[in-house]
A = this chain, B = another copy of it.
Amino acid sequence: MTSPRYDVVAIGNAIVDVLSRESDAFIEERGLAKGSMRLIDTEEAKALYAEMQPGIEMSGGSAANTLAGMAALGRQCAFIGQVSDDQLGEVFRHDLTATGVSFTTPLRAGDPPTARCLILVTPDGQRTMNTFLGASQHLGRAALDAALIADSAILYLEGYLWNADASREAMAEAIALARNAGRKVAFTLSDSFVVHAHGDDFRGMMARGEIDILFANEAEITALSGKDDYDAAVAAVAAQVPLLVATRGEHGACAVRDGMTVHVPAEPIDHVVDTTGAGDLFAAGFLTGLAEGRDLKGCLTMGAVCARAIIAQIGPRAQVDLKALVAERLEA
């Protein structure tokens, strides 16, 4: 087996984020689940956008954010995702390739437009996401580049892909392509609502040994395990995957491999500006550490440094030099 060209190839929804600052009342009046993600259709997107404060547009998408972070940290990455041939698609493509990520999935012509996520950021820094999937829901088997997947050490998938029929159905083939090429599969659960809707699929994938590395936060891992107790949930899920990475916000994160658990605290921060992308950038730091051959503590620390950097700014793509931040922290 030749050495793969890419450290990670990721498949994810290709989304441009529209971030605005809103009050807690704005969230409550609309009955939104604060801190979560929900899908919205064209009409809802139009209505919500009309009520939102002025926005900032920044490329997003969970797995794409992770790759942008890894590329900033010096890794070789490739992305598979579907945008339309419109202005936001051009923005998404530019921003990802400008970080050095390879992104060659052909544009999709015509409607629906490129996916947008309307992100409401409340004064506490929490983000509530409203996703119009647009062209992303048409990411199907045809977009899977078998040679690319075979040429990447890790295939990284986001649970959000289970929200649309076409992308959900394509994932079994993506996993098969990676495993047949002898590559590892990493998976992030994405959101507790996704786990509630598709947990059976995810548990099946774990039971069949299709997941090598699983990323989960507290709400997701308790939903997946059906256990309310966090430690019990971690233990139950850790028994199902070779490597579990569990993040828990301000309480830090842990990794479990071969029955060994390593924990790191969250990096200190004075003021959380916007939590958008926190989990994505944690995964970026962790996977970069893995690619660099670091031990679990090193990987977790890199994840925590990247997560801290992203919650100190608005939007999920780092405006600071992640590589310098990580180097400074690891040398300290």
Task: From the candidates B18, B95, B113, name the one contacting A55 in the complex (CB within 8 A).
Answer: B95
Complex: how many Å from CA A196 to CA B86?
37
Which residues of A35-54 are within 8 A (CB) of B? 49-50, 52-54
Complex: how many Å from CA A54 to CA B317?
8
User: Known interface pairs A21-B319, A314-B319. Does A54 touch B99 (Cβ–Cβ under 8 Å)?
Assistant: yes
Q: Is the interface of A mostly helix, strand, loop or mixed?
A: mixed
The answer to the question of A88 belonging to the interface, with a C-beta cut-off of 8 Å to chain B, is yes
Contact B88 A54, beta carbon cutoff 8 Å: no
Comparing A56-64, A135-143, A199-207, A233-241, the segment that makes contact with chain B is A56-64
User: Known interface pairs A87-B86, A87-B88. Does A57 touch B54 (Cβ–Cβ under 8 Å)?
Assistant: no
Provide the residues of chain B in CB contact with A87, threshold 8 Å: 86-88, 113
Which residues of A45-85 are within 8 A (CB) of B? 49-50, 52-59, 68
The answer to the question of A107 belonging to the interface, with a C-beta cut-off of 8 Å to chain B, is no
Task: From the candidates B53, B57, B91, name the one contacting A98 in the complex (CB within 8 A).
Answer: B53
The answer to the question of A94 belonging to the interface, with a C-beta cut-off of 8 Å to chain B, is yes
* Pairs across A and B, CB under 8 Å, 28 listed: A18-B91, A21-B319, A49-B94, A50-B94, A52-B94, A52-B98, A53-B98, A54-B59, A54-B68, A54-B94, A54-B95, A54-B96, A54-B98, A54-B99, A54-B317, A55-B94, A55-B95, A55-B98, A56-B56, A56-B57, A56-B315, A56-B319, A57-B57, A57-B58, A57-B91, A86-B87, A87-B88, A314-B319
Known contacts A54-B95, A55-B95, A56-B57; 19 further A-B pairs (Cβ under 8 A): A18-B91, A20-B98, A21-B319, A49-B94, A52-B94, A54-B96, A54-B98, A55-B91, A55-B94, A55-B98, A56-B56, A56-B315, A56-B319, A57-B57, A86-B86, A86-B87, A87-B87, A87-B88, A314-B319
